[in-house]
Amino acid sequence: MTVSQNPEGSGYDLAVVGAGVIGLACAWRAAQAGLSVVVLERDEPGSGASGVAAGMLAPVTEADFGEDALLRLNLDSRGMWPGFAAELEELTGLPSGYSEPGALVVAADRDDAEELRRLHTLQRRLGLDSEWLGPRATRSLEPGLSPRIAGAILAPQEGQVDPGAVVAALAHALVDAGGELCSGAEVIALHTHSGRVTGVRTAAGDTVQASRVLIAAGAWSSEGELGAEAGAPEVRPVKGQLLELRVRRGGSLPASRLVRTPRCYVVGRSDGRVVVGATMEEQGFDTTITADGVFRLLEAAYEVLPDIGELEFVRARAGLRPFTPDNAPVIGPGEIEGLLWATGHGRNGVLLAPLTARRMVEALRGVSTVVSA
Ligand code: FAD
Ligand code: GLY
């Protein structure tokens, strides 16, 4: 890895640790705002949770009891996605996979129906756009659903992207905006002087000077010397196993909408890939694919969409969601001057990328007059 200092030789305005969807989105917006930016990624862009995620933009069907503030963030960011995706696609000529298929949360049986009716009541109380449908109305929308289903919540505004494509487009857009992206650059320590950040040190022994450092290292944000020195917020990994299937020649997607149940979700892509996710496991940094994980996801998807059984099995993957104790992300300045955080996005980091990047630029404006946009 070679990290060049910025052209003036005085260091970068901003060094970002981590090239997931969060670090890249923040870096892109900061570069657009006129900052000299470098992103340091220990592996490859998208090698963390962002490269594994399903890509649902689903604030309504992810809403949970007691998380009203998080819901408002999710809704705000959902509203930003059409413009964010269009700008990214136009600037780079690359796809994002953005679409607005809507979602059905399907009750496989009467027990599920009881649970989902409670969830629907919550959604209505929160003023969300959702509707309860009986089994016949549900199957008229998605004929591939099992005749045994007991109804569904329709959330017509839910969207999706292809997170791998978004990461690739963001990396491209960052470089086009004048930013630098260094793969294979593991950051192991902060440099500080007189109580403020002056840069970072990498595992290869390079020093990267920067007047501000943004830690966007996902589930690893509070790890090691870097996390300890930086006074990291509490972030823990929550493992998610996810299956990738593919429509066979002449076949079609099992559903045109996002289909969810209390046990799984199914996301179809326009190129014929179908994602079935995901487990939620407290297993530390373990990313082992287990027989139990694969079995339960397939069983849950097959229960409501029997055509899943006809698809080609491509691979199973696991990623680590960065979770905070209250499930809300941490976005903004840290305790050391010049240090910023964008981490802890849990189940909704892809959804929250546009809003996080906007807030980060606002935070950068708050600590400096360099940002011009
Ligand atoms: P990451 O993508 O994990 O990126 C962190 C990066 O930092 C990594 O590339 C890592 O290599 C790098 N790094 C770590 N330490 C260092 C270091 N010391 N030096 C340099 N680099 C370092 N969200 C949604 O919105 N919709 C979904 O449908 C969805 N589905 C999901 C399904 C699964 C199975 C999983 C696991 C997650 C899903 N998520 C979803 C959540 C989403 O993936 C995460 O919230 C989001 O990707 C977090 O992005 P990030 O950039 O913070 O972290
Ligand atoms: N938001 C879907 C997941 O985290 O699995």
Residues with Cβ within 8 Å of 249's Cβ and at least 6 positions away in sequence, in order, are none
What is the average pLDDT across 13-33? 98
Q: How confident is the model at residue 5 (pLDDT cuts 50, 70, 90)?
A: low
**Which ligand has its closest atom nearest to the C-alpha of 243?**
1
Contact between residue 160 and residue 267 where contact means Cβ atoms under 8 Å apart: yes
Say what the pLDDT of residue 366 is: 80
What is the average pLDDT across 177-206? 95
Atom of ligand 1 nearest to the CA of 187: 19
User: Is 340's pLDDT higher than 70?
Assistant: yes
Q: How confident is the model at residue 365 (pLDDT cuts 50, 70, 90)?
A: confident
Rounded distance between C-alpha atoms, residue 120 and residue 130, angstroms: 7
Contact between residue 179 and residue 38 where contact means Cβ atoms under 8 Å apart: yes
pTM for this prediction: 0.95
Q: Which domains does the chain have, with CATH numbers?
A: 1-98+159-234+327-373 (3.50.50.60), 103-156 (no CATH), 236-323 (3.30.9.10)
Q: Which of 220-229, 299-308, 334-343 is predicted with the least confidence, judged by mean pLDDT?
A: 220-229
Ligand 2 proximity of 54 Cβ (cutoff 6 Å): yes
Say what the pLDDT of residue 372 is: 32
What is the average pLDDT across 262-283? 97
Say what the pLDDT of residue 72 is: 95
Atom of ligand 1 nearest to the CA of 48: 3
Q: 3-state SS string over the chain?
A: CCCCCCCCCCCECEEEECCCHHHHHHHHHHHHCCCCEEEEECCCCCCCHHHCCCCEECHHHHCCCCCHHHHHHHHHHHHHHHHHHHHHHHHHCCCCCCECCCEEEECCCHHHHHHHHHHHHHHHHCCCCCEEECHHHHHHHCCCCCCCCCCEEEECCCEECCHHHHHHHHHHHHHHCCCEEEECCCEEEEEEECCEEEEEEECCCCEEEECCEEECCHHHCCCHHHHHHHCCCCCEEEEEEEEEEECCCCCCCCCCCEEEECCEEEEECCCCEEEEECCCECCCCCCCCCHHHHHHHHHHHHHHCHHHHHCEEEEEEEEEEEECCCCCCEEEECCCECEEEEECCHHHCCCCHHHHHHHHHHHHHHHCCCCCC
Say what the pLDDT of residue 227 is: 80
Say what the pLDDT of residue 228 is: 82
Of 280, 348, 351, the one to substitute when testing ligand 1's pocket (max ligand atoms within 8 A of C-beta) is 348
Ligand 2 proximity of 240 Cβ (cutoff 6 Å): yes
Q: How confident is the model at residue 225 (pLDDT cuts 50, 70, 90)?
A: confident
Q: Which tokens in the block code for residue 20?
A: 């997931």
Distance 337 CA to ligand 1 centre (A): 25
What is the average pLDDT across 274-293? 97
pLDDT in tens, 122-171: 999 999 999 999 999 999 999 999 999 999 999 999 999 999 999 999 99
Q: Which tokens in the block code for residue 313?
A: 């099995």
Provide, rounded to the nearest whole percent, the portion of the chain with pLDDT above 70.
95
Say what the pLDDT of residue 9 is: 56
pLDDT in tens, 56-104: 999 999 998 888 999 999 999 999 999 999 999 999 999 999 999 999 9
Distance 345 CA to ligand 1 centre (A): 8
Say what the pLDDT of residue 66 is: 86
How many C-beta neighbours within 10 Å does residue 65 have? 8
What is the average pLDDT across 4-9? 52
The residue whose CA is least distant from atom 5 of ligand 2 is 278
pLDDT in tens, 295-323: 999 999 999 999 999 999 999 999 999 99
Q: How confident is the model at residue 8 (pLDDT cuts 50, 70, 90)?
A: low
Distance 184 CA to ligand 1 centre (A): 17
